Amino acid sequence: MAHIFISYAPENFEYAEEVKRRLERGGFTVWIDTNPEQVSAGKDWRSEIDEAIRDAFALIAVMTPQARAFEYMTYEWTFALGVGVRVLPTVFEATTLPSRLRGLQSLDFSDLRKRPWDKLFQILKETQMTHEFNRRTSNTPEGLKPLMAAMTSSDPNDLRKAVADIAHMDDWTAREALVNIMRHPAQNIRTAAALALARAGDARATTTLMDGLLRGSSEVQTAALRALVDINPERVLELVLNTLRDDDQRMMFTAELIQEAIPRHIFMSYSRRDAAMMVRLRDDMQDERLIVWTDEALTPGDPSWQMAIENAIENAGCVVVILSPDAKKSEWVRAELQYAQMQKITIFPLLAGGDESTAVPLSLTGAQFLDVRSENLYAAGVPKLVSHLQRFLRRLGAVQGRNGVE
């Protein structure tokens, strides 16, 4: 792990030691020459100093009148600037900073009662994260280099655009780049990368999404929950509530968000004679983490059967109906479609057998349907259907269904 280099004049050893103690208590690794009088030791000492500065993610310059006049300290911070290490002047005694340091962010430690240790720690943590991010992305493939270079911009618009462009590159190198971007100092950029990873079903986004859920705005929280659902819909409630179990108010708020964010199920309407097609389609949709409701566990004619079907349709995000001559003759398929239309639930028809005249009921005449009557048509069409359903349910959110038939 990269360290912090402390540069100081011999007369200011006590200041430097206090900085060292504070930083180490804060969890930082510190490099300090505890015997700066060794400046006359020669070439090996200078090489060691140079190497220590190159390996640092920040150099803290303990500034006093003596430090300003100490030539070896001037060499250290000048060398650091030359090799791209951040230099942070900390003024312990009133002095005029050298011209090359005046344009840098500095901290005033001259007032013993108001020393800004918290601000120093904040700056160093952000600097460390940026250093680690740059180190991890140094071996980026050529095609990604311009986009990853844009990630060092201070313009939020440039950062968001770079993340969006990387997310549109559908290959493993882009996903690895998004993993690295999740270490970016800015939380909104980390969250954007995690959301993009979640859309690809990559579970490595989970930790960053949970951080966005805990610390983000209401918009970020809602987006993070939806993304967590995309990754693992079965465990998202457990995951969120376990994380927030010590905060009753946040748990209540999160429960409301979950109600909005979790996509509802897909109700499957079909004839029992088309059960094989239903099972195949159900399994293919569940493999893509869609939540599917079927009446397989119900006993036809049971008093609770009709009530269960009505409740399942009322709470569905949409209905997928398997059309066939048998389905057209089924009074229950017809009733389910009529009830879904009455509830303004969107219907996605699949033509599995027959033709438009023998398989499509009057209520769906003119509706666009997906033809899956052959193996080739099924193989080509169902992945497109799944993708469309995922987008549809994501957009649907907490809205109580859509008008019309698709």
> Is 39's pLDDT higher than 60?
no
> Looking at the predicted structure, is the pLDDT value of residue 352 above 70?
yes
Which pTM does this prediction carry? Answer: 0.43
pLDDT tens for 129-149 read 778 767 766 655 656 666 666
Which residues make beta-bridge pairs with 323?
351
Low-confidence winner among 38-52, 186-200, 218-232 (lowest mean pLDDT):
38-52
CA 215 to chain centroid, in Å, comes to 13
The pLDDT assigned to 404 comes to 34
Q: How many domains does the chain have?
A: 3
pLDDT at 22: 94
Q: Domain span at residue 235? A: 140-261
406 in any annotated domain: no
Question: Rounded to an integer, what distance in angstroms lies between the CA atom of residue 178 and that of residue 199?
Answer: 12
Position 183 pLDDT exceeds 80: no
Quickly state the pLDDT bin for 43 (edges 50, 70, 90).
Answer: very low
Between 193-197, 281-285, 297-301, 333-337, the lowest mean confidence (pLDDT) is in 297-301
Q: Are 94 and 205 in the same domain?
A: no
Tens-place pLDDT, residues 66-88: 999 999 999 999 999 999 999 99
Is 404 among the domain residues? no
291-334 per-position pLDDT tens digit: 899 988 776 666 667 888 888 898 888 999 999 999 999 999 99
Instruction: Select, from the ranges 47-51, 134-138, 164-168, 353-357, the one with the highest average predicted confidence (pLDDT).
Output: 353-357
The Cα–Cα gap between 223 and 41 comes to 59
Could you tell me which residues come within 8 angstroms of residue 227 by beta carbon, excluding any fewer than 6 positions away? 194, 195, 198, 199, 205, 209
Name the pairing type of β-strands 370-371 and 347-351: parallel
CATH of the domain at 65: 3.40.50.10140
What CATH number did the domain enclosing 152 receive?
Answer: 1.25.10.10
